């Protein structure tokens, strides 16, 4: 909240915009590293790989991310169930029904309300799964596309500030809340984001032993993981076009990729370095 207060108070100053100019391509590189780490665990074969690519393509075509998350999970679960059925029953073929998925709501600008903000983050907090970076896809769909309360630029700033802290990327919810409605909205957004976790963890602690034994549950969770990967890839592409805007930011993104993959440099140092280089570049080049 202190960081977003400073952003609102001083974000219009040229020096602050120079810092964010250098940070944004670094954040894209950090997200790509998270994508790679998740992908090594989530992609377990051709079924999950195909599901991830399908979710990525459909997301870029405009389909709703929550529907894609659960549709991808259900598809992986049904395919693996079909393979088990094939092996056990020795059937000649297995046909899976295909359901039409409705398109995401058209973009528009809705009037801001704290109740709507709280309910939006409550919904996101309840379905967020796979990696904290999936939050970016959900927030973009909700606050940029559906409600029109944020721009891609502001969302990328929220992610950059969230990455600069040692807390989870979900702290970006606090940034968004403050940006839209000050301190009360920041607290409401944070509460809505994290409240479902406290409830779900208590409930799932009773269920998890059963899921480890159930092939249906295991394959469904595999599908959720790889669908999350597809969503993350889609939103990274869209935000990348906002953060990488010229030769310098492209070079900074590539350098950050090398540092984060090859040398495992901590993301905090990368962000500090990106901000400093952004200021130096603007001072020298103008």
Contact in structure between 229 and 136 (CB atoms under 8 Å): no
- List the chain pLDDT tens, one digit each, 286 residues: 888 898 889 888 888 899 999 999 999 999 999 899 989 989 989 999 999 999 999 999 999 998 999 999 999 999 988 877 666 644 333 333 333 334 344 445 678 999 999 999 999 999 886 556 788 889 999 999 999 999 999 999 998 887 777 667 888 999 999 999 999 999 999 999 999 989 988 888 777 777 777 888 889 989 999 999 999 999 999 999 999 999 999 999 999 999 999 999 988 899 999 999 999 999 998 6
Helix (H) or strand (E) holding 132: none
Q: Looking at the domain assignment, is residue 140 inside a domain?
A: yes
Q: Looking at the domain assignment, is residue 23 inside a domain?
A: yes
Contact in structure between 157 and 140 (CB atoms under 8 Å): no
Residue numbers of the domain that contains 164: 18-91+112-285
Q: Looking at the domain assignment, is residue 48 inside a domain?
A: yes
DSSP annotation of 105? P
Q: Looking at the domain assignment, is residue 5 inside a domain?
A: no
For the stretch 73-101, pLDDT in tens is: 999 999 988 877 666 644 333 333 333 33
Q: How many domains does the chain have?
A: 1
Q: Looking at the domain assignment, is residue 100 inside a domain?
A: no
Q: Looking at the domain assignment, is residue 9 inside a domain?
A: no
Q: Looking at the domain assignment, is residue 104 inside a domain?
A: no
C-alpha triplet 246, 162, 128: angle, nearest 5°: 110
Contact in structure between 267 and 93 (CB atoms under 8 Å): no
Q: Looking at the domain assignment, is residue 105 inside a domain?
A: no
């Amino acid at each position: 909240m202190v960081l977003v207060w400073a952003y609102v108070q001083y974000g219009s100053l040229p020096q602050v915009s120079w810092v964010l100019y250098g940070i944004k391509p670094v954040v894209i590189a950090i997200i790509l590293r998270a994508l790679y780490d998740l992908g090594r665990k989530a992609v377990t074969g051709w079924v999950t790989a195909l599901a991830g690519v399908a979710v990525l393509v459909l997301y870029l075509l405009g389909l709703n991310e929550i529907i894609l998350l659960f549709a991808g999970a259900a598809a992986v679960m049904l395919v693996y169930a079909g393979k088990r059925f094939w092996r056990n029953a020795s059937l000649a073929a297995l046909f899976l029904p295909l359901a039409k998925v409705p398109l995401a709501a058209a973009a528009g600008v809705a009037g801001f309300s704290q109740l709507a903000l709280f309910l939006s983050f409550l919904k996101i907090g309840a379905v967020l799964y796979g990696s904290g970076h999936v939050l970016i896809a959900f927030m973009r769909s909700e606050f940029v596309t559906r409600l029109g309360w944020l721009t891609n630029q502001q969302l990328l700033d929220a992610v950059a500030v969230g990455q600069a802290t040692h807390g989870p990327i979900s702290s970006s919810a606090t940034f968004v809340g403050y940006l839209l409605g000050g301190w009360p909205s920041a607290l409401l957004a944070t509460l809505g984001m994290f409240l479902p976790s406290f409830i779900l963890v208590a409930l799932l602690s009773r269920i998890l032993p059963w899921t480890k034994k159930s092939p249906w549950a295991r394959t469904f969770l595999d599908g959720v993981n790889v669908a999350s990967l597809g969503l993350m890839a889609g939103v990274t592409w869209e935000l990348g076009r906002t953060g990488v805007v010229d030769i310098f930011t492209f070079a900074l993104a590539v350098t950050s990729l090398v540092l984060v993959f090859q040398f495992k440099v901590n993301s905090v140092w990368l962000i500090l370095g990106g901000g400093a280089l952004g200021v130096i570049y603007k001072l020298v080049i103008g």
